[in-house]
Amino acid sequence: MKPFSFSTTALQVDTYRQALADPAAGGYASFEGWVRNHNEGHEVTRLEYEAFEALAHKEGERIVTEAIARFGVISAVCVHRIGSLGIGELAVWVGVSSRHRAEAFAACRYIIDEVKHRVPIWKKEHYVTGDSGWVNCERCAAHGHEHDRVHEHGHGH
């Protein structure tokens, strides 16, 4: 399976997990990002994910490749949803298999952190009030240079 990919339908975690299996692996760590019902004091009803796929594929693959090289894990995969997602749905999945647990956790953490900061994916929140907004963008535009701090918030992770 590809190191980084998108899915427009519900993520199939069991399938992805099995693809990481390896006789040399002593463990496996995964991370699931879920859609939660609130962000920054607003009640959220659903999220829409959009990606610049041509570049996102390349950047996502670079991140996974970096993690494998950096932590010496056996294999790693990241799958991200795009489209409209309801509360509780799985938005992103990262899985890593390795000889020992420490590097599996570390690689998993590295991949999700880098994906959130580097891969051109955007999410639009739809609020209970009927309003909506692009996460990190609307406040960015209003607050100018404060965006570095604003980038640190996210969904459910």
Q: Which residues of 24-49 are buried (b: 16+ CB within 10 A; e: fewer)?
A: ebebbbbbebebeeebeeeebbbbeb
For other proteins, give the closer residue by CB, 101 or 149.
Answer: 149
Q: How many CB atoms lie within 10 A of CB 90?
A: 17
CB of 80 closer than 8 Å to CB of 115: yes
Name every residue whose Cβ is closer than 8 Å to that of residue 128 and which is 6 or more positions away in sequence: 42, 43, 44, 45
**Shortest distance (Å) from residue 67 CB to other proteins:** 15
Using rule CB under 8 A, residue 123 touches other proteins: yes
Using rule CB under 8 A, residue 41 touches other proteins: no
Using rule CB under 8 A, residue 50 touches other proteins: yes
Using the contact rule CB under 8 A, the part of the chain among 8-16, 22-30, 102-110, 143-151 near other proteins is 143-151
Binding residues for other proteins, per CB under 8 A?
33, 49-52, 54-55, 58-59, 80, 91-92, 112, 115-124, 134-138, 140-141, 144-145, 147, 150-151, 154-155, 157
